[in-house]
Amino acid sequence: MINPFKNKKGLGRGLSSLIGDSEVKITNNKISISSIIPNKYQPRKKFDKNSLEELTASIRERGIIQPIIVRASEDSNDKYELIAGERRWQAAQNAGLHEVPVVILNVDNLKSLEFAIVENVQRKDLNPIEEAEGYQRLINEFNYDQEKVAKFIGKSRAHISNCIRLLSLPTKVIEHIINEKISQGHAKVLVGLDNSELLAEKIIKKKLSVRQAEALARLVKSNKSSIKSKDPNSIDIENQLSSKIGMKVFLNNKKNNTGTLIFEYKGVDQLDRLIKIIKENY
């Protein structure tokens, strides 16, 4: 069969070219919607409810214009696994369609993942964590490196690296990214910081811009550096006081022997106990 998607070869070129490089078994064929199963390599996990409802209404009115791309299932002879078009497939089910138009490709697991990533990235359907997990899967399961991922996707290596680094953030911060409480720009600022979870909460609560978040991160790093350079006597005093009263203590002693002594309490009970100690002894 002549490939109807034939296109020039090259990386980072788009979904149509990926199809053009694949063996097409059947095009524009309608199959039962119940014979299609989800793509096990689908990087996208979150689908916007309102957007899906709009697409459902459109499909109910006009049908599916763009075919869904599938491949024969490896696990079941009478099933087809989605490669690209899961959102259309879900909306078609919601619209009550019994059959959908498909393009059936003969591709392996790697190509299936490549299709799914390219479709979603180019349409900007993935959140930053889903995008990062897709790239990481190419690296872990299919022996890609960051340079190869960058060439394939058509983005800079720095972009790929920055995306993947987001996966090192604490689970709570990752949840904030997925739920769009903080942006990818905010998240990049938090990577590598010990107290990233606390800073993320401050960014959300105070509605900080990315630039303000960067300033906050610089301040935290600066304070951390000053703590590291603190003299042993001050550290010893902090440790002794902390062990006595059960709270974190910070001593900032300047060269002229002036400074501040800070007690960090957690809850009203600790505050009341601290006040009681001071009153009883002074």
Active-site residue set: 86
- Whole-angstrom distance, CA of residue 177 vs CA of residue 171: 10
Report the chain's C-alpha Rg in angstroms: 27
CA pair distance 68, 76, nearest whole angstrom: 19
Q: Kindly give, in sequence order, each residue whose CB lies less than 8 Å from that of residue 199, ignoring residues fewer than 6 positions away.
A: 190, 193, 213, 216, 217, 220
Kindly give, in sequence order, each residue whose CB lies less than 8 Å from that of residue 188, ignoring residues fewer than 6 positions away: 162, 165, 166
8 A C-beta contact, residue 260 and residue 238: no
User: In this structure, what token pair is assigned to residue 13?
Assistant: 């070129």
Which residue, among 154, 179, 150, has the nearest Cα to 164 in the 3D structure? Answer: 150
Return the half-sphere exposure (C-beta side, CA atoms, 13 A cut-off) of residue 86: 23
Encoding tokens for residue 243?
Answer: 């062990």
The answer to whether the CB of 114 falls within 8 A of the CB of 106 is no
Q: How many CA atoms lie within 13 A of 247 on its CB side?
A: 20
